């Protein structure tokens, strides 16, 4: 029964979302796992240490970009992308570690270009 409720919510979200939509999107309940995020994934000091691990070649710059993008908040969400997480990855993972890992992969392919404003800091 619970699975049917999730499918119904997902179906409603898919049916009402179009790229041309100008009204703000809401955080879809069916894709959100931020309420289950471990406390250490929400702690700014732990997030900075995580970033320093993934961006060991330039941790200060990576932390500045993350502060600019999300304030180091792994729950940050910009409905117009949707851009999600610490590095505001489009349709990205919501877990802190996964979001930073995805950002690192993006960085390795394109440098700071995916973050045109914050990447220039």
58-104 confidence digits (pLDDT tens): 999 999 999 999 999 988 888 787 888 999 998 778 789 999 999 99
pLDDT given at position 88:
94
Choose which CATH entry (2.60.120, 3.30.200, 1.10.530, 2.60.40) describes domain 37-120.
Answer: 1.10.530
pLDDT given at position 81:
77
pLDDT given at position 37:
55
Residue range 4-63, pLDDT digits in tens: 444 444 433 433 333 443 443 344 532 444 545 555 667 889 999 999 999 999 999 999
Which residue ranges does the chain devote to CATH 1.10.530?
37-120
Cα torsion through 56, 62, 66, 72, rounded to 10: 30
């Amino acid at each position: 029964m619970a699975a049917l409720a999730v499918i119904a919510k997902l179906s409603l979200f898919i049916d009402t979302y179009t790229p041309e939509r100008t009204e703000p999107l809401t955080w879809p309940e069916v894709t959100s796992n931020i309420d289950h995020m471990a406390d250490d994934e929400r702690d700014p000091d732990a997030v900075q240490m995580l970033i320093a691990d993934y961006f060991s070649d330039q941790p200060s710059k990576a932390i500045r970009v993350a502060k600019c993008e999300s304030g180091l908040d792994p729950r940050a969400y910009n409905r117009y992308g949707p851009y999600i997480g610490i590095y505001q990855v489009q349709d990205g993972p919501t877990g802190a570690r996964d979001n930073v890992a995805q950002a690192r992969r993006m960085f390795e392919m394109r440098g700071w270009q995916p973050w045109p404003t914050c990447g220039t800091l």
